[in-house]
Amino acid sequence: MSARILVVDDIEANRRLLKAKLEAKYYDVIVAENGEKAITAAKSDSPAIILLDVMMPGIDGYETCRRLKADPDTAHIPVVMVTALSEVEDRIKGLKVGAEDFLTKPVDDFALMTRIEALMRYNTVADELRRREASGMASGSLEAVDLEDLKKPASVLIIDDNPRSSVRLAKRLREEGHTVVTLLESGGLSAEAGRKAELVIVSLNAEKFDPLRICAHFKMHETTRSLSVIVVFDPHDQAKAMKAMELGASDMVVTPVEDQELLARVRTQSRRTRYIDILRRRVDHGMELAVIDQLTGLHNRRYMINQLDRLLKRPSAEQSPISVMIADIDHFKRVNDTYGHEAGDNVLKEVARRLQANTRPTDIVCRHGGEEFMIIMPDTAVEIACKAAERIRRAVAADAFEIEGVPVSLDVTLSGGVAAYTGSGESPLDLIKKSDEALYRAKSGGRNRVESVAA
């Protein structure tokens, strides 16, 4: 998996060393010698990951990271702080300004590549969701409610068969407000425990179960695949940690576990998981906007055409009848002209409600546009569709409409046109045209009636 990586360091030898290591793994590497140039390169070259030195002249790595994360154009790019500072507080400071990870100089090849590969997996999902969102709806920065969700405490499951280390980790996380369940407290590993957690900490030192199999289990099942998994490992057990990362673990912490580093990594991973969830929700919402009429809640014309096209292309379409009804609200313009567009909107919503209440679960009710609606009736002959259309017409006209802000009850009626698919290569537009012709006859014949085009 190749990608473009931006290396930022004021010392040329350091830039060259990291560039050589990454290019040996077939990454495309660009470099910058200070924070200002790094910000410019991040905007112009769109790197997948930024390796950012902390100690630089001018604006240091912390301030550079803060500016990158404050800019909507670069906030999504993962930043890995690279520092010669060995104090935990210095590393934690980087995570607090928005960095996704940190590496300590001299950079260990194992740590470098595992961090890069984990971030690349995250990027693959996040980038795909951002592309879908951009194609389905207007893209934008996260809303305030989303940002608050990112900051909330996490729900954590600790999988460790050592009571002392398990209790210590749980106690520290609970002190920070996180909800924690341990393997020992739950009495065993259950699917329910995994589903309730958003982050799992797995000890690779466990003796009573295979921790690598646990990692694989979470990433194999759809219900737990999105969980972030942090593995805890001994310094001499890098091979097992590498295998865990290959199996899908999101991050790793070496023993002895430093409290502040653990808390920072839990915070980072929980926010990353929630960010992906937010993107997924926004993509789902965008997909909904693409097929749902926002006023009535019915399917829109785009969905209607797609469904008709799908039904007409079924292998059984020549043998299975397909009928449609176009319904138009009679004298709808008078409602708008007399009582205003808000009253007209409320009439449209009530008509939509009555249509849905008087159609079968297999029928597809859509808003065709304006005051026109369409009901697609799969596996329905035109004779039966005409009876259904007449029942729908009567149901809409049966009770007067009580509309908020309108001083009188409104008598609302429909005219309907029914047509059936006759085969011979008819398209959705052909079928709509036939039902439109039947609707025109119903309007011309006095309204509040149903006409049809025979099969």
Going 99 to 101 to 103 to 104, the CA torsion angle's sign is positive
Q: Which residue has the tokens 């035109």?
A: 382
Give the alpha-carbon dihedral of 60, 66, 70, 75, to 10 degrees: 100
Q: Do the strands 450-453 and 414-420 form a parallel or antiparallel pair, or are they unpaired?
A: parallel
Number of C-alpha atoms within 13 angstroms, CB side, residue 201? 34
Query: Does the active-site annotation cover 371?
Result: yes
Residue indicated by tokens 């790595």: 61
Measure the CA–CA gap between 256 and 164, rounded to whole angstroms: 13
- Residues 185 and 166: their CA atoms lie apart, in Å, by 10
Contact present, 314 and 320 (Cβ < 8 Å): yes
Q: Which residues contact 314 (CB under 8 A, 6 or more apart)?
A: 320
DSSP label of 210: -
Residues 6+ apart with CB under 8 A from 304: 364, 366, 368, 374, 376
CB 276 within 8 A of CB 126: yes
Question: What's the CA gap between 402 and 408, in Å, rounded?
Answer: 8
Both tokens of 126, joined, read: 């996040």
The DSSP H or E segment spanning 182 is strand 179-182
**Residue 412: partners with Cβ closer than 8 Å, 6 or more residues away:** 329, 330, 335, 347, 350, 351, 396, 397, 400, 401
Contact 240, 246 (CB under 8 A): no
> How far is the C-alpha of 172 from the C-alpha of 256, rounded, in Å?
14
CB count, 10 Å around CB of 129? 19
Tell me which of 133, 198, 371, 426 is the catalytic residue: 371
CA-based max dimension of the chain: 88
Whole-angstrom distance, CA of residue 243 vs CA of residue 220: 15
Report how far apart, in Å, the C-alpha atoms of 169 and of each of 180, 182, 374, 454 are. 9, 9, 59, 74
Would you tell me how many other CB atoms lie within 10 Å of the CB of residue 162? Answer: 16
**Catalytic annotation, residues:** 371
